[in-house]
Structure 1
Amino acid sequence: LIMEALAQAAGILSFKTMGEMPSEDSVFYFVGIDEARFKKPVMPGDQLHLHVTIERQMRGIWKYNAEAKVDGEVVASAKLMCAKREIQE
């Protein structure tokens, strides 16, 4: 669930970076994860802070560095990949 939350944050960051709003015409697919690390357990009641930066974007594929923190300590990290696709009807 932590990695999914980071991927959702990455998609939002991408839309904000492009100056676009999410719409029914395009989606971001979570397509890959590398170097995933779970460093500490996250317990119910913990406040999870998500930190995502764009590493690069090329031909519709976006790569990110992502960390989840609790009380300022990294509890999970990964390199994520998402792909933007236009929806054809």
Structure 2
Amino acid sequence: MVNEVAGGVPFLDVRKIMEFLPHRYPFLLIDRVLELVKGNYVTALKNVTINEPYFQGHFPGLPVMPGVLQLEALAQSAGMYIMNTFEGKFEGKVFVFTGMEKIKFRKPVVPGDQLILRCENFRQKLNLFKMSGNGTVDGKITVEGEMTAALIAREDL
């Protein structure tokens, strides 16, 4: 679980994130959990670099982080929150998207940006989790919306 440091601000680096999430290169899309307040919200960071493999084709000469990957980064942030907050046995289980609503893409994310991801309003019903979230660069919203994910057994995939 998350260790709290001075001021009650939890911090998780990428090594700790990999203990919780099954994602690996090139699909681990969060570099750090900046803050995780149980019962409230999570804030994470994605450093966007030109070395990301998707920039080869999206778009040549005009690199833009795909919106669906911004949503995936939000979902991974939410996964960190859920794994550190809700009671339950997560061993042998994974989270999968079951829905997205009210998704808006407001501003492109490009190499050199630091994408700050924030998820909040977490609700649980059985094995379903719903939350709202947004991504920002320099304080301006790049993506926002609501997401739903289900916790399912690995063998059911």
Question: TM-score, normalized by length of structure 1?
Answer: 0.86
Q: How does 1:13-52 map to 2 (within 5 A)?
A: 13-18=81-86, 23=91, 25-52=92-119
Question: Corresponding residue for 1:5?
Answer: 73
- CA separation of 1:41 and 1:84: change in aligned 2, threshold 3 A: same
Contact in 2 for aligned 1:52/1:65 (Cα 8 Å): yes
After superposition, what is the alpha-carbon deviation per residue over 1:16-58, rounded to whole angstroms, capped at 9, x for unaligned? 11266864x1111111100110011111110000000133110
Identity of aligned residues (%): 34
Structure with the greater alpha carbon radius of gyration: 2
Hey, what's the Cα distance between the residues in 2 that align with 1:21 and 1:74? 34
Range with greater deviation from structure 2 (74-83 or 51-60): 51-60
- Structure 2, unmatched stretches of 5+, are 1-68
How many correspondences in the alignment?
88
Hey, what's the Cα distance between the residues in 2 that align with 1:60 and 1:35? 22
Question: TM-score, normalized by length of structure 2?
Answer: 0.51
Question: Corresponding residue for 1:74?
Answer: 141
* Larger RCO (CA within 8 A; separation ≥ 6): 1
CA RMSD of aligned residues (A): 2.0
Hey, what's the Cα distance between the residues in 1 that align with 2:107 and 2:126? 35
Structure with the higher fraction of residues in strand conformation: 1
